[in-house]
Structures are given as structure tokens and as C-alpha cells.
Amino acid sequence: MKEPTVGDLIDARYVLRREIARGAMGIVFEASHAYTGRLVALKLLHAEHAGSEPLRQRLLREARALGSLRHRGIVEVYDAGIGRANEPFVAMEMLEGRALDGILAARRTLPIDDVIRIGLEVCESLAMIHGHGLVHRDIKPSNLFVALDASGHEICKLIDFGIASVPTTTSDGADLRKLTMHGELLGTPEYMAPEQLLGLPVDLRADIYAIGVTLYECLSGDVPFSGTYPQLLVRVQTTLPTPLLQLRGETPPALAELIERAVSKDPDDRFPSARALAAALTEAGELYRQLQPGYRRPTEAEEAGAAGATALLGLSRNPPQPDGSPSSGSEPAPTRRPTPVLATRTEVVVPLHRRRFPRSPYVTPVWILRATGGPLEGRSEDVSETGLLVITPGLCDDGERVRVRFALPGDGGLVTAIATVRWARSARDGRGAFGLEFLELPDGARDLIASYVGAVVGAG
């Protein structure tokens, strides 16, 4: 079986438009339905794995288990099956936005109100899946996607249920036990609870631990424990995380305390459910708001008016400097506005400063060819007529001139542009986040980008 590529027709109805993400086992494409034109995210297995019956069944059983879930904070599964070329596929809603790990790579830490909001939204989603007997087992920033919904509102969605622990049967009696095996070590070690690292059976409290690690990273820019698997195995059992108040002094004590409880070594010491953690986050958020200058309770109209505010994606937030560089010297921070959860402070919402060339979230693989040093493979985070925000395993230098190859929005065609590095930042895990300014683009590419960005920004 050949590797799926742009232009392929899957199951005689899904046309692959561009690659979005690539993992060890599978690839995700933006695809359009050949008859309705509806855009979906289509998950396929790599060609070398497409013949593996266990992986084929895992992909399809994951889709079956999630097919009954309907929640605004969980990526929706539309369709699944075996294509005419005998390839398994899952069709999911096509999200516009950025993964939380990309946001953290560029900013390292987030404002406290955004951290609380993310925690509450993830807890709401987890309460839903836990209520259906599922345990995600891989909560981490790369599996939390900050998306814009059809109304332009920002929502943190839970994605990638590839290693979820599921009920033994679905409502129609299908056996799902082989999705996970006894003793399998699945997950990302830095976010895994001690019992999960040890290969012991886990329950929903492993997800509580992973939420705690994620919130810890959002506040401090680092995870509680890092290192090789053997090092982590020792550290999570024998040492305590550095207190958040030492790493970020303005962290509200109540928020620091609940995160430290969530990452307790003993599952019995953690919150017993996502709803219990959400209640603690709500209380910590209220205490935090009451300490802000000019605090007052909002009217119902003010709360409703804040519902559409965006915070993390930062669409067209800050104007560039006269030389075109970001205003902060790193990834531009968004103009602060009330958020749906923490909209109780007295704030003057000023008109947004528009960039000369607006940007919008856009995730696709990129390949960077440098004059010196090896090539870099990574992904874009957003795009504008003037450049890309890129995350890669390494870091380019400020002012470095590079060639960048990526798929254009719209037709998914691969293009190569000449660009210069306008700013660069090193991320926690050795990755680099940097802004590229286009110096040369192929004919027509700028118009395609402008059309895509205009549609996304206009919808928001």
C-alpha cells in the first residue's frame, strides 16, 4: 500500500487537500468531501502500518468509542471505515486554531486567568468522557487544541484519543478490550502519573495528574519532572515538584495548592474527579478576581458580552513595529480582554490594533533549509501575507536567511519561499519558536494566503 498523498481520493469521497500533522503511526490530512465539499480532518495510518490488524482495529475502535460523544470541548468524529484501497480512516471535525504546546513554545507561560480558563474547559470535557467510562491517558499541551468555533469564540478542545482506555464494550456490544493491553506503557512520560509510569492499572485520577502537570507548565514554563524514562521513574516517586510560588511569585496560593494536590504521587491524595478539580479552580478563580483592582461583580449583559473574547490565539492583536518585527521582540502577546470564565474584572475594552497584514492560525508541516547546519522539520502555527510562525526541534538565529517549504492554504500545493528569521525563542523541551518574514514567494502564493487569512479573521 502506498503512502497517502495530497490529491488522493479516500473511500471514493474524501479528497486529501494538505497534510496537517504526522506521527509515528499515522498522518492527519485536511480533506474535503467530494460531493458536499465539507472539510474534515482525516486520520490515516502510515503505509507501513496500514496492514497491521491491531493498529487498524485500534483506529476504528477509537472512532466507535468516541462516536457517541457530543461535547463542545471534544473533537467530533463524523465518519470512519475501510476505504476501497483497504485503508482504515477516521473523519473528524476540521479545527481552526493552535495546539497549546505551540502557544507555550512561543510564550513559555500564560496569564493566570487563561490558565484557569483552560483548566476549567479541560475539566468539563474530561467529566464528560469519564462519565462514559473512558480515561484519556495522554492529557498534555499537544493534545489540547485552542480553536475558534463558528461564532469566533475560543474553546480548548481535547483531541487524540488514540491510547484512551475505553469500556470493554460499546452500547451495541462491540468488544473493545484489545484497544489497550495489560502492562502497556502508553503516554508521554513527563505527563504520566507515577502508577502509569510503573505500568500499573490507571483510572481517571491519572488524567487529573496530567491536567495538574499541564497547568503547572502553563504557569511556570516547565514541567514538574523531566529527564529520561529511568530518571523520571525515580523522581516522580521520591521527590516533590518545585513549589509554583517559587517559580512564579504572583501565582494565587489557592491555585498553586490545587495544582500541587492534582500532581500528588498517591492517587488517593488527588481530586477524586474532574468536577471536583473544576470546583476548586472556580473557587481559586473567584478569589483571584476579588483581589484585582477595581473588582466588581459583572452584570448579566457584561458577562454575555465577554463570551466572544479571544485570548490565546491573538488574531490581529498587536501592530508591528515600523520595521515589521513583532512589538515585543518575541511572539506578540494578545491585547488582554475579558474571557468567558474570568470576565468579572472592571476593564476598558479598547478597539483592537489591526496589523497591516492580519494573521490567522494555520497548522501544517514545514521544512527549513539553512545555509549552515542541518535542515529542520517542524510545523507552522499561524500565517500572514508577510510570514509564518514556526515551531521546530531546533532553533534558527535572529536575522538568519532560510528557505522554507510548506503547503499553501486553499489548494494544499507545496511551495518554497525565501525568508528571514525576525525573532526566535527557545522552548522548554529544546524546540525553537520563531517568526519568519517572507522575502520571496512564488506567484499567486501571497493571494492564496491573503484569501485564507481574510476568511478566518472575518469569521472571528
- Residues serving a catalytic function are 138
Q: Which is it for the CA torsion 205, 207, 210, 212, positive or negative?
A: negative
Strand partners, 388: 383, 436
The dihedrals phi and psi of 5, each to the nearest 5 degrees, come to -135, 165
DSSP element (H, E) containing 318: none
Single out the residue of 137, 242, 146, 143 nearest to residue 189, CA to CA: 137
Strand partners, 384: 359, 387
Longest Cα–Cα distance of the chain, Å, equals: 64
Single out the residue of 152, 441, 117, 162 nearest to residue 281, CA to CA: 117
Angle (CA) 330-336-340 rounded to 5° is: 130
What is the gyration radius of the CA atoms in the chain, in angstroms?
Answer: 22
Report yes or no: 378 and 404 within 8 Å, Cβ to Cβ. Answer: no
Q: Which is it for the CA torsion 400, 405, 407, 408, positive or negative?
A: positive
Report yes or no: 210 and 139 within 8 Å, Cβ to Cβ. Answer: yes
CA atoms of 48 and 22, how far apart (whole Å): 14
